[in-house]
Chains A and B, each alone.
Chain A
Amino acid sequence: MNSVPMFLINKILLVSLQGEINDNMALSFQKSILDKIYETGAKGVLLNISQLDIIDSYLGRIISETARMIQLLGAKAVLTGMKPYVAVTLEELGLNMQGVEIAMNADIGVKILEDYVKASDFEEISAEDLE
């Protein structure tokens, strides 16, 4: 069951992790995101964690893993909404979130992903310009 809200806009998947996420839910959202990317051909994923109460070491690892899996599928993951005390906790837990680009806010995150999506899409040229 997909209890994590996801929106697809212009090949970018917006995912908001919120409330309390237990171990099972974490694995389940990992699968949901990957399946969605595969189904829709989404090229970018914006993971918003600003609504999360806590990130423990398990959740931290799952997020980092998910980002790497997203990369394997040829898409890009950007994390946004990181709060200062969460950053400190993750640092103490020794999780460095490799494979995830972290954006200061959602605007920047979306810009990064839009650039990536544009790069992997086809440019449009009108037939006249070619001649």
Chain B
Amino acid sequence: MNNSIISKTNEILFQLKDDITGIWIETIQKKSLNKVLTESEIVSLCNKIIHTFIMQIEYKGEFFSKTPELSDANKILDDCSKVAVTKGLTLMEVSTFIFSLKNIILDQLGKIDYADYISLSKEFIRISEILDRIGMYTIDMYVKNREQMIARQQQIMDDISAPIIQVWERILAIPLVGTLDSKRIQIVMEKLLDKIASTSSKVAIIDITSIPSVDTQVANQLLKTARATKLLGAELIITGISPEIAQTMVHLGVDITGIKTRAVMADGIKLAMEMTGFKVVRLVK
């Protein structure tokens, strides 16, 4: 590869970089990406990516090595992908954004005065590869960052979806929300048993009104929890059983003898109060 041809291309592209950036920004706005990003966000992202591009066309080594210069360039693209994730861009929008740069730059190559078509062709390929790499790397980072964000949100949801509430002296209530898998119940069971011991509670009410369905594993895990609770000298009441869950549990042959169940939490609380030595009466005039 003739270095003087490469240098020529690089220098001209460097001189044209502001023009290229301007055309790119306009193109992006025409593609309706201005509906999801503000103008200053678009300008900032474009400038960063062009900066990366210039860094990469000047880079003389192997493209997939982990050299410091490439790391800096890649870090910029990683940051750009994080902006895309935070702004809620779709994968299609990210692709459109980045790959719309390609035609603009390749178009400029056509205006450069190369000695022959072979040189033009070689430069075309070189620049094209660099742009593809930038695009694919950014998209890859976008996907990774998005998955991380989803995992974080899931963690937050997990933390708030099984609060243990002390509703009365020695009565605990745990309203479960969302989809239950046996892993989650395991965690809830451990937290619950700890809480029962630390508060010396006599009754715990697990409410599954907000759980749409249960499978064998979940049902068995609930039973395990009930038996473990008994071993602590306390008792478990399961409330919020819907007709569908009642049907599922009987069909699955789950042995619920000895476990107290109620359709609504109110009944569970009444039972719990009686079990802890209280009597609830209705006062009439």
Contact = CB atoms under 8 A, between A and B. Distances in A.
Interface in A113-131: 120, 122-127, 130
18 contacts: A37-B263, A41-B264, A65-B250, A69-B247, A70-B246, A72-B246, A73-B241, A73-B246, A74-B241, A74-B261, A74-B264, A74-B267, A122-B281, A123-B281, A124-B281, A124-B284, A125-B281, A125-B282
A58 interface: no
B283 A73 contact: no
Most A C-beta atoms less than 10 A away, residue of B250, B256, B283: B250
A5 B13 CA distance: 84
A74 B260 CA distance: 8
Contacts of A30: 247
Given A31-B243, A34-B247, A127-B285, A73 B263 contact: yes
Interface in A71-87: 71-75
Q: Which of B243, B247, B280, B284 has the most CB of A within 10 A?
A: B243
B172 interface: no
Given A69-B246, A71-B261, 13 more contacts: A38-B243, A41-B264, A65-B250, A65-B251, A72-B256, A73-B241, A73-B243, A73-B263, A74-B239, A122-B282, A124-B282, A125-B282, A125-B283
Given A69-B250, A72-B256, A127 B283 contact: yes
A68 B247 CA distance: 9
Interface string A30-63: 1100110110010000000000000000000000
B87 interface: no
Contacts of A122: 270, 280-282
Interface string B256-285: 100001111001001000000001111111
Nearest to A125: B281
Contact of A120 (B241, B245, B270, B282): B270
A74 B262 contact: yes
A69 B243 contact: yes
Interface in B121-148: none
B220 interface: no
A73 B280 contact: no
A130 B282 CA distance: 11
A130 B283 CA distance: 9
B98 interface: no
A127 B281 CA distance: 10
Contact of A74 (B242, B263, B280, B285): B263
Q: What's the interface size class on B, roughly?
A: 20 to 34
A43 to B, nearest CB: 9
B247 A38 contact: no
A38 B250 CA distance: 16
A65 B246 CA distance: 10
Nearest to B262: A74
Contacts of A125: 281-284
B249 interface: yes
B172 to A, nearest CB: 19
Contacts of B243: 31, 34-35, 37-38, 69, 73
B279 A123 contact: yes
A120 B242 contact: no
Nearest to B264: A41
Nearest to B260: A74
Contacts of B285: 126-127
A69 B239 CA distance: 13
Contacts of B246: 34, 69-70, 72-73
Interface string B189-217: 00000000000000000000000000000
A72 B282 contact: no
Nearest to B238: A72
A68 B261 CA distance: 11
A2 B28 CA distance: 60
